[in-house]
Chains A and B, each alone.
Chain A
Amino acid sequence: MEKFRKQLTQRLIIHIFISLILIIFIILKINNILLPNGTSTFAKTYDIVTGLMTTGISLFYIRQTLIYQKALRSDITLKKLYNFENDERRNLINIKSGNPIILICSSIILLAAIVSSFVNATVFYTLISCAVFLVIVSNALKIYLSKKY
Chain B
Amino acid sequence: MKSKIRELRKQHRLSQEELAQKVGTTRQTITSIETEKYIASLVLAYKIARYFDLKIEDIFDFSEMEDEHGKI
Q: Which residues of A contact B (CB under 8 A)?
A: 79-80, 82-84, 86-90, 148-149
Contact = CB atoms under 8 A, between A and B. Distances in A.
Interface stretch (B6-14, B18-26, B53-61, B62-70): B18-26
Interface of B: 20-21, 24-26, 28-29, 32, 37-38, 40-41, 43-44
B38 A89 contact: yes
A83 B32 contact: no
Contact of A89 (B21, B24, B28, B43): B28
Given A88-B41, A149-B37, A79 B21 contact: yes
Nearest to B26: A87
Contacts of A84: 26
Nearest to B20: A83
A90 B26 contact: yes
B38 A149 contact: yes
- Scoring A82, A84, A88 by chain B CB atoms within 10 A of each residue's CB, the highest score goes to A88
A84 B40 CA distance: 16
A102 B2 CA distance: 34
Lowest 3 CB-CB distances: which A-B pairs, in order?
A89-B29, A149-B38, A87-B26
B44 A88 contact: yes
A108 to B, nearest CB: 31
Contacts of A80: 21
A84 B28 CA distance: 10
Contacts of A149: 32, 37-38
Contacts of A86: 24
A83 B38 contact: no
A62 to B, nearest CB: 24
A79 B26 CA distance: 11
21 contacts: A80-B21, A83-B21, A83-B24, A83-B25, A83-B26, A84-B26, A86-B24, A87-B26, A88-B29, A88-B40, A88-B41, A88-B44, A89-B25, A89-B26, A89-B29, A89-B32, A90-B29, A148-B37, A149-B32, A149-B37, A149-B38
